[in-house]
Amino acid sequence: MKVFLLVATLATVTSFASSWIYSSTTCEHNTANLKCRNGKFIWVYLARYGRTQDDTCPNSGLHDTNCGSLHDSLMEVRLACHGHQACAIRASNDVFGDPCHGTNKYLSVHYLCLRRPPAIYVRRACEGHNIEMECPTDYVINVHYANYGRTAFHPCIHPARSDVSCHASTSTSVVQSTCEGETSCVVPATNSAFGDPCVGTYKYLTVYYVCTV
């Protein structure tokens, strides 16, 4: 096992079933940097923002060691990193929400580096911004699902986010019309593109897609 300590980030590499598992632990308010080499792609299989141990990222604050949602954390890290060759994601409440108020937290990520793109990519853009999708050479985009609206409180932090049951019914078809079969595309997360499914709520666009031959 090799261990590297850089800017409050602990990265380890271990061998498992003839594959390399990369692990990164990043203290709150710092940035996790994940990277694959030799043209390989990041596949995130486990992530947690919170705290499960006292001795990791020690701090004088309260230590709730049963803190963090695996599902929510995994989604956020996959949005930032899945299918990329390198990525950066900040370990902060602005990104993940605050799973345990008053406790100093950290982000733990476990990932593989694959020779081929992962089975599915996830992308998100806050309202007024663009989603950029791309596939490696010889692959094209196949959109599985998209939603323009809001289904959770903490993504895309904004004062106007009370409606978390917001879906634009045409989301998938709009993204498919622009991106299906393309090697890359850009889709704006705007009311002009999707309509306004929840007036007065700050929305975001989430897209799930695969790269096929």
pLDDT tens string 161-208:
878 889 999 999 999 999 999 999 999 999 999 999 999 999 999 998
Residue 51 burial class via C-beta count within 10 angstroms: exposed 0-12, middle 13-18, buried 19 and up? buried
Interval 43-87: pLDDT, tens: 888 999 999 888 899 876 667 788 887 777 888 898 888 888 999
Interval 81-128: pLDDT, tens: 888 899 999 999 888 888 888 889 999 999 999 887 667 888 999 999
Instruction: Please name the helix (run of DSSP H) or strand (run of DSSP E) that holds residue 88, with its range, or none.
Output: strand 86-90
User: In 3-state terms, what secondary structure has residue 209?
Assistant: strand
pTM (predicted TM-score): 0.62
> How many other β-carbons are positioned within 10 Å of the β-carbon of residue 81?
26
More confident residue, 159 or 16: 159
